[in-house]
Amino acid sequence: MDINTLRHSASHIMAQAVKELFPGAKLGIGPSIEDGFYYDFDLDRAFSQDDIIKIEERMRDITKRDIKFERQELKKEQALKLFRDLGEGYKLELISEIADEVLSVYKQRDFMDLCRGPHIERSSDLKAFKLLNSCGAYWKGDEHNKMLQRIYGTAFFSQEELDKHLYLLEEAKKRDHRKLGKELDLFSIQDEIGPGLVLWHPKGAIVRKIIEDFWKEEHIKRGYKLIYTPHIARLDLWKRSGHLEFYKDYMYSPIEIEEKKFLIKPMNCPSHILIYKSQLRSYRDLPIRLAELGTVYRYEKSGVLHGLMRVRGFTQDDAHIFSTEEQLEEEILSIIELVVFMLKTFGFSEYEVFISTRPEKFVGTLENWERAERALKNALDNAPVKLKYNIDPGEGVFYGPKIDIKIKDVLGRPWQCTTIQVDFNLPSRFGVSYIAEDGKERTPIMVHRAILGSFERFFGILIEHYAGAFPLWLSPAQVIIIPISQKHHAYALELKRRIDKENIRSEVDLRNEKMEHKIREAQLNKIPYMAIAGDREIAQGEVSVRSRQKQNEGASKVEEFIDRLKKEIDLKS
C-alpha cells in the first residue's frame, strides 16, 4: 500500500463521516493530493470549525468500527440507477462522462462511492490523520459552476510522521509571506489595483533593489548585455512567435492604438530576438547573451492566485543566449555555475534537478534534440558543484529540452525557480541567423534561462525561508539607533550620519517612548542590529549593541561597530 492509497481511502472515510452527520450533503470528488487529501461537498451552508471537529471525531469512530472496503463492478446503467436512487447528482454527471461500460464502486457498509480505487482493506488501517481546514471550491474548478464546500485533511502511516507534518504546517503558517508582508510593511495586493498585481512598499522595494543590483553586477561580470524592452507589442509579433496560438488563454485582450492591435507582453523572448536581428551577426560575435529584468503580464484565473507566489504581473530575471552548436555545452555549464553561485548567496544549497527530454510532439530534428539533451546532461555531469538529477522522459516543451531546478527552503519545501531551455522553434520562426566561418548563413542555438524566476515569487520564497528576518545584506533597515532619552538625540543623529556615509541602511528612533518599547518594536520589525546610545556611550564614543541573534552584545567603539557591519554585508552572510 502506498501513501496515495492511504490518503484516498481517508477521503472516503471522511465522506462517509460527512454523510452520517449531514445526510443532505451531496458528494463531489475526493482525491489524494500532495501531502494530503480533500473531498468536495454540496451543502446548504459552509462547514464551521466545530463541524470539522465533529467530522474528524466521526472518522475516528468509523476507523474503530473496522469496516471493510468492498469493491463492486457495475454496468453503466446499474451505476446510474444506484446514484440516482441515492440522489447523488454530481456522481451521475461524472458517470455520464466516462466511456467505459463497466464501472467500479466502493462500499463501506451503507456508504457507496464511485471510484476506481485501490483502497485500504479496512477502515482500521487508517491510524494517523488530521482534518485541516475547509473552503469554497467550484465544481470541477470552473468558476461558472456551483461553489461547493471542500474539506482538506492529511494522513500518514504513523503518528510520528503526522506530528512532524503538522509541526511543519504550523511553521509554514508563521512564515506565510502574506502575513509577514503585511506585518513588516513589505508589499500589498489591493482591490483598487486588481488581483494578482503587486504594490512594492518602500521596505520591499529596497530588498528588490538590492537583489536587482546584485543580479546585474554578476551578469555583467559574465559577459551578459543588459537590455530593456517595451511592455506592449504589435499583435502580429505574437502571431509570428506562436504565443497567440499556444498561449492565448494566458494573454490579455488586445488594445487598439491608431487602428493597430497591440498585446501586453506575456514573454520577453520575441523582443530579445529582434534586438539580436537588428544587425548582421558573425560567428565571431557569438555567444551573445542578452539579459533583462523584464516585467510580463499573464492572465491567471482568480482561483489560483496566491500572494506573491502566483500573480498576474511579475518581473522575470530573463536572459537569452545565442550560440553556435559547439558553444552550447560550455554556455549551459556557465549558466549552472551562475545558478549555484546566486542561489547559494541567497541561502539555498539543496536542490531537486530534472532534465526534461523530447515529448511526442516536437519541432526541430531528432539529431538536434539528441545534441541538446546530451549538452544538458554533460553540463550537469561536468559542473564543479555536483548536482544529482533525474531524467523526466517526454516532459520537455515542444520547442526543446530543458533543465528545471527546484530549491528547498528551510522547511524542506521545493520551489521551482531556475529553468534552462533549448529552443528550436523561435529561431526558425524568426529566421535568426549568423554568418559562419565558411561565409554561409547558419541558425544559432537559442537558450532561454531564468535563475530566480519571478522576482515576486522569489521574494515570497525569501520571506518564508527567513521568516522575514533577512540576512544583514538584504535587510531593509540594517541597524536602528535608539537614544535612551531626548538629551541623547544629537549623538544618535550624528551616529546615523556616520553610518549612512558608509552606505549602511540605518534608522533612528527619536519617539518619546520607553527604551524597552523601542527595543521590542525593533525586534518585531526583525532589524538585525540595534545601537543604543546613552550617557556612558557618548562619553566613551561607543554604542551598546543588541543583535537579532545574540540579544545584548555589550559596548563597541563606533568605528569598530561600523567595520563589523561592513564586513558582514560584504560577506552576504
Cα end-to-end span (Å), the chain: 45
Cell numbers describing residue 21:
452527520
**pLDDT band at residue 326 using 50, 70 and 90 as cut-offs:** very high
Q: What is the pLDDT of residue 330?
A: 94
Alpha helices in 141-292 (DSSP H): 159-175, 177-183, 202-221, 235-241, 243-246, 269-276
Catalytic residue among 40, 51, 317, 318: 318
Catalytic residue among 150, 448, 457, 518: 448
Catalytic residue among 19, 177, 281, 320: 320
Percentage of residues in the chain having pLDDT higher than 90: 88
Q: What is the pLDDT of residue 388?
A: 92
Per-residue pLDDT at 224 exceeds 80:
yes
Per-residue pLDDT at 362 exceeds 90:
no
Q: Each residue of 283-319: pLDDT tens digit? A: 999 999 999 999 999 998 887 889 999 999 999 999 9
Q: What is the pLDDT of residue 355?
A: 95
**pLDDT band at residue 384 using 50, 70 and 90 as cut-offs:** confident
> What does the pLDDT average to over 335-356?
95
| Whole-number Å distance between alpha carbons of 440 and 65 | 79
Cβ of 44: how many Cβ atoms within 10 Å?
8
> What does the pLDDT average to over 126-135?
96
Q: What is the pLDDT of residue 521?
A: 94
All CATH 3.40.50.800 domain ranges of the chain, comma separated, are 472-571
Q: What is the pLDDT of residue 189?
A: 96
**pLDDT band at residue 13 using 50, 70 and 90 as cut-offs:** very high
Catalytic residue among 175, 298, 358, 377: 298
Q: What is the pLDDT of residue 143?
A: 80
Q: What is the pLDDT of residue 276?
A: 97
Residue 210, helix vs strand vs coil: helix
> What does the pLDDT average to over 168-194?
96
More confident residue, 180 or 423: 180
For the residues of 265-322, what is the DSSP string, one character each?
-S-SHHHHHHHHTTS--BTTT-SEEEEEEEEEE----GGG-BTTTB-SEEEEEEEEEE
Catalytic residue status for 540: no
Residues 6+ apart with CB under 8 A from 209: none
Q: What is the pLDDT of residue 246?
A: 80
Q: Are 153 and 130 in contact (CB under 8 A)?
A: yes
Cell numbers describing residue 443:
541558425
Q: What is the pLDDT of residue 234?
A: 95
**pLDDT band at residue 399 using 50, 70 and 90 as cut-offs:** confident
Centroid of chain to Cα 467: 16
Catalytic residue among 12, 402, 457, 546: 402
Q: What is the domain class of 209-229+268-465 according to CATH? A: alpha beta
Catalytic residue status for 505: no
All CATH 3.30.980.10 domain ranges of the chain, comma separated, are 3-167
Per-residue pLDDT at 176 exceeds 90:
yes
Q: What is the pLDDT of residue 377?
A: 94
> What does the pLDDT average to over 122-139?
95
**pLDDT band at residue 53 using 50, 70 and 90 as cut-offs:** very high
The fold of 3-167 is Threonyl-tRNA Synthetase; Chain A, domain 2 (3.30.980)
**CATH number, domain 472-571:** 3.40.50.800
Catalytic residue status for 298: yes
Residue with cell 525557480: 417
Residue with cell 543588459: 226
| Whole-number Å distance between alpha carbons of 300 and 454 | 14
Q: In what order do the strands lie in the sheet with 529-533?
A: 506-508, 479-483, 529-533, 542-547, 551-557
Catalytic residue status for 42: no
Catalytic residue among 269, 281, 409, 421: 269
Q: Label the pairing between strands 288-297 and 225-226.
A: parallel
Catalytic residue status for 402: yes
Q: What is the pLDDT of residue 550?
A: 77
For residue 202, cis peptide bond before it (omega within 30 degrees of 0): no
Helix (H) / strand (E) containing 348: none
Residues 6+ apart with CB under 8 A from 346: 462
What does pTM read for this prediction? 0.88
All CATH 3.30.930.10 domain ranges of the chain, comma separated, are 209-229+268-465
> What does the pLDDT average to over 96-106?
92
Catalytic residue status for 312: no
| Whole-number Å distance between alpha carbons of 459 and 308 | 8
Catalytic residue status for 269: yes
| Whole-number Å distance between alpha carbons of 225 and 213 | 14
Per-residue pLDDT at 464 exceeds 80:
yes
Catalytic residue among 108, 316, 421, 478: 316
Per-residue pLDDT at 144 exceeds 90:
no
Q: Each residue of 247-267: pLDDT tens digit? A: 888 899 999 999 999 999 999
